[in-house]
Chains A and B, each alone.
Chain A
Amino acid sequence: MKRKWKRALFGSLIFSSAAFVFQACYGAPGDFGYDVFIEGHVISKSSKKPIRGIKVSITDEDQYAFTDVDGRFSFYTYERKINIPMIFQDVDSVENSGLFETQQLDVELDSNKISLNIEMGEENR
Chain B
Amino acid sequence: MLKQFFFRKFKENETQLHELNYLFWECTAKCNLNCLHCGSDCTKDSLHGDMPLADFLEAIDTIENPAPNFTVVITGGEPLLRKDLEICGREIRKRNMRWGIVTNGLLYDKARHVSLLNAGLGALTISLDGLSETHNWLRNSKKSFERATQAITLAASSHRLNFDVVTCVNQRNITELSKIREFIIEKGVKAWRLFTIFPIGRAAGNTEMFLTDIQFQTLMEFIYESRKHAEIDVKFSCEGYVGKYEWKVRDSGFFCRAGINIGSILIDGSIAACPNIDRSLTQGNICSNSFWDVWNTKYEVFRKRGWTKTGKCQTCKEYKNCLGNGLHFWHGNRSEPIVCHNEKLL
Contacts and interface: CB of A to CB of B under 8 A. Distances in A.
Contacts, number: 147
B93 interface: yes
A30 B262 contact: no
Nearest to A79: B160
B102 to A, nearest CB: 5
B120 A7 contact: no
Given A22-B262, A26-B274, A30-B162, A65 B118 contact: yes
A77 B117 contact: yes
Interface residues of B, number: 59
B18 to A, nearest CB: 9
B4 to A, nearest CB: 9
B6 to A, nearest CB: 4
A33 B122 CA distance: 7
B238 interface: yes
B324 interface: no
Q: Is the interface on chain A under 10, 10 to 19, 20 to 34, or 35 or more residues? A: 35 or more
B24 interface: yes
Nearest to A10: B10
A19 B162 contact: no
Contacts of B93: 37, 76
Given A29-B125, A61-B158, 16 more contacts: A6-B9, A10-B6, A10-B13, A14-B253, A19-B255, A23-B237, A23-B238, A24-B24, A27-B102, A28-B101, A29-B100, A30-B69, A33-B162, A62-B157, A76-B119, A76-B160
Query: What are the 5 closest A-B residue pairs judged by CB atoms, nearest first?
Result: A18-B251, A31-B122, A28-B100, A75-B118, A10-B10
11 contacts: A3-B17, A22-B71, A22-B257, A23-B22, A24-B24, A26-B275, A27-B24, A27-B125, A61-B159, A63-B114, A77-B160
